[in-house]
Each structure stands twice: as C-alpha cells, then as structure tokens.
Amino acid sequence: MGASAGTLVLAGTPIGEVMDAPPRLAAELEAADVVAAEDTRRLRRLTQALGVQTRGRVVSYFEGNESARTPELVEALEGGARVLLVTDAGMPSVSDPGYRLVAAAVEKDIKVTAVPGPSAVLTALALSGLPVDRFCFEGFLPRKAGERIGRLREVADERRTLVYFEAPHRLDDTLTAMAEVFGGERRAAVCRELTKTYEEVKRGGLGELAAWAAEGVRGEITVVVAGAPETGPAELDADELVRRVRVREEAGERRKEAIAAVAADAGLPKREVFDAVVAAKNAAKAVTKNAAKDGPRR
C-alpha cells in the first residue's frame, strides 16, 4: 500500500467511569475522518461527557453489519482516511467488533495502531486475587447447556487462570456448570459493574458462588476462575486419572490420545493411566453383570 493510505486506530473506551478515558481518546475523536462506533448513541453520550465534537463522518459498526461495513471502511482507509474504531466499552476486537476490520486492513498493508484504554479482562484479573502471571481469555460461553459443558470440559485441566464474560441472566447456569466440571471448591471471582457505582467483586469456591448467583445478579459480569491445580503423580489416584481421560474423550479426543495427554500432564507412564482406565471399565462391567444376575427383588 502506498504512502497515501490512511490509518486504522483502535481506541479503548471507558468500561464504566468516564474519567478513565485515555487522554488521547478525545484528540482522536476530534481528528478522525471516520468514526466507526458499535453504538452511535453511546458514542454521542461519550463525546458529550468528554466535551469534544466529532468532525468526521460517524457510522455504526456492530455485529449485525460488521461484514457489510468492513469493505466500505477499508476503501476509506485506502483513500487516506484516518478511521477510528470504538466499541461500547473496552478495547475493540476483545469480544467486540473489530477483528474483521483489523484483518482486512492488515491484508491491505494499511497501518493499524491503538489508543490503549480500559479492559474488563485485565481489571477483573487484577481484582480477583487469583494468579495473574499466566491466564487465558475464553470470552462468552455457548448459550446451550450441552455446548457450554463441552466447552468447559475442553479446559478442565488448564492450569492458567481463566477469564470469561457472561450475561447476568446466565450467570447462575454458568457457575453451576463450572462447579460441575471444575469442582465446587475451585476458587473464582465474579466481578460485577467494574469501575461503576455499584462495583462488586464476589470471591469464593464455584459451588458457593453458584448458590449466591441463584438469587439473581445484575450488571455487566466478568468471571475469573483459578486454573487446575498442579498435582504431581503421588496426588492423582486412579479415579482422578480415569476422570481426566473421560473429560478429554467427551471433548472429542480418541481414548489413546486422551490417555497419552493425561499421562504427560501427570508425569506418569502411559501404561499406568491405561491400566486405570481398563480397571474402571472392568469394574463397571462387573457391577452391571451382578445387577443383571440378581434380577429384580420382590
């Protein structure tokens, strides 16, 4: 792309308190040739709160029109425009519109830069009281119960701290599913209304938090969950090895690969895990056989 190409600017916006807006945001809002906003009404409220005016063209850019709007914005960038992308709260592309536009701009060799700003992910991590040296962001879980359980099983043995976004009306079901898959004692923190007037951080075991959420929770939610404990060979009994293999199988892995992965994670020979799985299978068969032999009692 030639020197006449424009610049795509990804700008972080406040996740609650307007005073958290980065100083550069006001300058970029005034200087942009095009401002692409997830919600133009929220953008209007933001500019009023910051005391600035957008001189460029304002267009909507949200999940429903992201695919159709991206080529138009790329064309503006190719023509030399400075395009500012903002979402309702936080950084664009992080569970918000933006990825498609960034990818399209990169493909055209158009400059992409950012105005760093507030992030619910990092704010929740910092407040959670859980390890933050290694973490992974999982976004929103699927709405359907079966898919939600399947997604959680995929990371049941993940040792890094996990971060999720969730809608308040689904928080109860999500925490209950997490307690089922990760264990009710796994530590977690529910961060609600971060930086807003009614900010709240509720910490505890997943079972405890699920019971708390059953009463109903309002506001924007970020959930931080501790990673799986780093357990050594002596701490894993046969039942736990079998459980880990089953979780991986239910997530779609073949038994051979699941056994190899569990053995590697636990620092054990594959044969030891294999024997535990076979023993559990034989025990289940014996229980079924005895039940059939005894027949119904009168």
Is pTM beyond 0.85? Reply is no
What's the confidence (pLDDT) of residue 230?
73
Helix (H, G, I), strand (E, B) or coil at 62: coil
The tens digit of pLDDT for each residue in 74-118 reads 999 999 999 999 999 999 988 788 999 999 999 999 999 999 988
Q: Span 260-280, mean pLDDT?
A: 86
Instruction: Find, among 6, 165, 166, 25, the residue nearest to 86 by Cα.
Output: 25
The tens digit of pLDDT for each residue in 57-75 reads 999 999 999 999 999 999 9
Domain ranges, ordered by start, for the chain: 7-118, 121-225, 233-293
The tens digit of pLDDT for each residue in 5-19 reads 899 999 999 999 999
In CATH, the architecture of 121-225 is 2-Layer Sandwich (3.30)
Start-end of H helices in the chain: 23-31, 40-50, 66-78, 99-107, 120-128, 145-154, 171-182, 206-213, 238-250, 255-266, 270-294
- Model confidence at 37: pLDDT above 50: yes
Residue type, 281: K
What's the confidence (pLDDT) of residue 282?
87
> With bands split at pLDDT 50, 70 and 90, how would you rate the model's confidence at 182?
very high
What's the confidence (pLDDT) of residue 290?
67
Residue type, 34: V
CATH homologous superfamily for 7-118?
A: Tetrapyrrole methylase, N-terminal domain (3.40.1010.10)
139's tokens: 């976004």
* CB distance 262 to 245 below 8 Å: yes
